[in-house]
């Protein structure tokens, strides 16, 4: 295995990542206003901005799902138990003892086992839950028939808020982990430039140098 600086984050993935971050922060900010946690903007403005950001995020997710499956990038999110316990122990104890990260980023596996599992749960559980409950809440006027409609609305609203807080927790943990190990800039830079240090097999290195020379730095 050889460690080389390789472009592992394509342009669309970087665009999707930062656009998603901006829209999620906007949704959390306006959502907190709608919950009455602050009054920087009017309730009506918060609802309008929240709805617009939600629609844009859904459109972005649709494109991202299409991109992941057509490019084969979805394989990076396949969970594995190989090395999972080591990574979990590192974040629980080793990181506070100055130990080295037990996982080496690879060309075809850029997420460590815990990352892959977390991102998969986010994409398969939390995102669909916030999407579904948000759409149900937004279209309440179409299904508000029957004596129990208001009761179901409360269920939908509570599930939406609980899921939103779970996503907010993920965001906080994600940002915190960016401050560990390497410098904050060192963690963020790859998602800006697309390049990061990864371990390459001789076959991967030969392929990149021959067929994708712009994806590997000399």
Kindly report, residue by residue over 1-33, the tens digit of the pLDDT.
788 999 999 999 999 999 999 999 999 999 999
Which residues have a Cβ under 8 Å from the Cβ of 200 and sit 6 or more positions away?
Answer: 1, 2, 3, 4, 6, 106, 107, 208
d(CA 175, CA 99): 20
Kindly report, residue by residue over 150-197, the tens digit of the pLDDT.
888 999 999 999 999 999 999 999 998 888 766 777 788 999 999 998
d(CA 4, CA 181): 19
Kindly report, residue by residue over 93-113, the tens digit of the pLDDT.
888 888 888 888 888 888 889
Residue-range domains of the chain with CATH: 2-215 (1.20.950.20)
Q: What proportion of the chain, given as a percentage, has pLDDT over 70?
A: 99
Query: Residues 112, 117, 121, 127: what is their CA dihedral angle, to the nearest 10 degrees?
Result: 10
Both tokens of residue 207? 């392929």
Its pTM stands at 0.87
Kindly report, residue by residue over 110-156, the tens digit of the pLDDT.
888 999 899 989 999 999 999 999 999 988 888 887 778 888 899 99
Asked if the model's pLDDT at residue 81 lies above 90, the reply is: no
- Provide the pLDDT for residue 142: 86
């Amino acid at each position: 295995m050889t460690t080389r600086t390789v472009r592992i984050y394509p342009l669309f993935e970087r665009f999707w990542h930062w656009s998603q971050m901006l829209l999620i922060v906007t949704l959390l900010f306006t959502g907190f206003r709608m919950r009455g946690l602050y009054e920087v903007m009017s309730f009506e403005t918060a609802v309008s901005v929240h709805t617009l950001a939600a629609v844009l995020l859904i459109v972005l997710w649709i494109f991202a799902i299409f991109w992941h499956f057509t490019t084969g990038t979805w394989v990076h999110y396949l969970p594995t138990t190989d090395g999972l316990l080591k990574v979990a122990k590192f974040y629980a104890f080793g990181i506070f003892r100055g130990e080295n990260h037990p996982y080496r980023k690879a060309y075809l596996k850029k997420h460590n086992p815990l990352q892959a599992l977390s991102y998969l749960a986010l994409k398969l559980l939390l995102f669909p839950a916030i999407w579904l409950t948000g759409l149900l809440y937004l279209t309440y006027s179409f299904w508000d028939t029957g004596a129990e409609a208001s009761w179901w609305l409360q269920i939908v609203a509570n599930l939406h808020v609980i899921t939103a807080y779970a996503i907010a927790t993920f965001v906080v943990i994600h940002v915190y982990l960016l401050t560990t190990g390497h410098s904050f800039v060192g963690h963020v830079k790859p998602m800006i430039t697309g390049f990061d240090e990864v371990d390459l097999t001789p076959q991967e290195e030969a392929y990149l140098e021959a067929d994708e020379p712009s994806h590997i730095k000399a």
